[in-house]
């Protein structure tokens, strides 16, 4: 997990980096102002951004929003305890975790673990979506090829389907590859 820690105070940055590392982050980058944090976040994709809202330019929730809108990585915002509940309500729809200051190592550890689990789930869902889109594209190819066979060879839909399946088995290729060959043959 690649993490970006944003805080103006070097001691706080170091403490946060240490806690995030214990929670499983391998590569940790530090930014000490919002401008460099935005630049770094734009250049590299981070799996996690931890923003310690203190005196840097711009408010912490604006930076958190910017990060959440740019990528798939998780965002943890550490805000003043008096403001944290209100800010959490405003940011929860964007998937940003808000912790109140002072934050304990245990609380931060748990939040990082939640982000890691969420990132893993999102990655699996993206892969499933990619697989489903591929299957849909393959089905479209096969259906177009069946239609071509029906129009040009006088096959019924069932005959066209069997023809494609048999060729795929005989040639040890996928039905989509066979369908593509048929389309290349008959379409101009």
pLDDT at position 85, please?
Answer: 86
Same domain? 73 vs 17: yes
Same domain? 95 vs 138: no
Same domain? 98 vs 134: no
Number of structural domains in the chain: 2
Q: Are residues 38 and 12 in contact, defined by beta-carbon separation less than 8 angstroms?
A: no
Same domain? 146 vs 80: no
- Residue 155 belongs to what domain range? 130-186
pLDDT at position 55, please?
Answer: 60
Average pLDDT, the chain: 88
pLDDT in tens, 102-124: 888 888 988 998 888 888 898 89
Same domain? 7 vs 49: yes
Tell me the CATH number at 18: 3.40.50.2300
Q: Is residue 118 part of a domain?
A: no
pLDDT at position 143, please?
Answer: 96
CA pair distance 186, 188, nearest whole angstrom: 7
Residue whose pair of structure tokens reads 């996690």 in the numeric block: 48
Same domain? 65 vs 145: no
Same domain? 90 vs 163: no
State pTM to two decimals: 0.72
Q: Is residue 116 part of a domain?
A: no
Same domain? 93 vs 181: no
What are the C-alpha distances in Å from 64 to residues 20, 77, 96, 136? 17, 7, 7, 36
pLDDT in tens, 134-186: 999 999 999 999 999 999 999 999 999 999 999 999 999 999 999 999 999 98
Tell me the CATH number at 167: 1.10.10.10
């Amino acid at each position: 997990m690649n993490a970006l820690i944003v805080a103006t105070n070097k001691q706080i940055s170091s403490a946060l980096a240490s806690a995030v590392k214990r929670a499983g982050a391998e590569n940790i980058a530090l930014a000490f102002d919002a401008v460099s944090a935005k630049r770094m976040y734009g250049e590299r994709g981070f799996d996690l951004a931890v923003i310690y809202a203190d005196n840097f330019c711009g408010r912490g929730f604006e930076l958190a929003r910017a990060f959440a809108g740019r990528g798939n990585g998780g965002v943890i915002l550490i805000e003043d305890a008096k403001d944290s509940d209100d800010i959490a309500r405003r940011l929860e729809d964007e998937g940003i975790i808000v912790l109140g200051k002072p934050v304990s190592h245990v609380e931060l550890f748990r939040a990082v673990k939640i982000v890691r689990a969420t990132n893993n789930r999102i990655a699996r869902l993206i892969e499933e979506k990619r697989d489903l889109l591929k299957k849909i594209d393959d089905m479209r190819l096969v259906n177009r090829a069946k239609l071509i066979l029906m129009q040009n060879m006088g096959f019924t839909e069932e005959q066209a389907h069997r023809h494609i399946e048999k060729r795929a088995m005989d040639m040890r290729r996928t039905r989509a590859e066979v369908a593509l060959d048929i389309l290349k043959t008959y379409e101009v």
